[in-house]
């Protein structure tokens, strides 16, 4: 799980080396890491408590949807909350 998170965080780091369009600060990497780690830990917790495969899939989809909504809000301010600086 941690290797997957590190691999996902390496993508923007590599993109920053080849493009000026990707410009992440250390704080951006920290926030992304916390979001990804939180989502992975939430899924692990729910996967251990839920016994049926269908419920695990539903929980995984729900956690992924929440992660993507929070990420989109932080990135571009989809909903216009204070998180995005609006």
Q: Which two tokens stand for residue 74?
A: 């932080």
Stated as kind and residue range, the H or E segment containing 70 is helix 53-76
Q: Is residue 2 part of a domain?
A: no
- pLDDT: is 76 or 27 the higher one? 27
What rounded mean pLDDT belongs to the chain?
A: 90
Give the pLDDT of residue 67. Answer: 94
Distance set, CA 18 to CA 11, 21, 22, 35 (Å): 11, 9, 9, 25
pLDDT of 6 reads 93
Residue 82, pLDDT score: 77
Residue 1 lies in a domain: no
Q: What digits encode the pLDDT tens for the residues 14-49?
A: 999 999 998 999 999 999 999 999 999 999 999 899
Q: Tell me whether residue 12 is in a domain.
A: no
Assign residue 22 a region (left: φ > 0; alpha: ψ between -120 and 50; beta: otherwise).
beta
Residue 44: domain span: 25-84
What does the alpha-carbon distance between residue 16 and residue 21 come to, in Å, rounded to a whole number?
A: 8
Number of domains in the chain: 1
Question: Would 20 be classed as within a structural domain?
Answer: no
């Amino acid at each position: 799980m941690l290797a997957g998170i590190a691999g996902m965080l390496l993508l923007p780091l590599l993109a920053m080396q080849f493009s000026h369009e990707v410009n992440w600060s250390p704080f951006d990497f920290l926030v992304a890491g916390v979001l990804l780690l939180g989502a992975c830990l939430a899924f692990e917790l729910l996967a251990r408590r839920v016994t049926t495969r269908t419920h695990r899939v539903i929980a995984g989809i729900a956690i992924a949807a929440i992660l993507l909504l929070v990420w989109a809000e932080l990135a571009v301010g989809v909903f216009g909350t204070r998180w995005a600086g609006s």
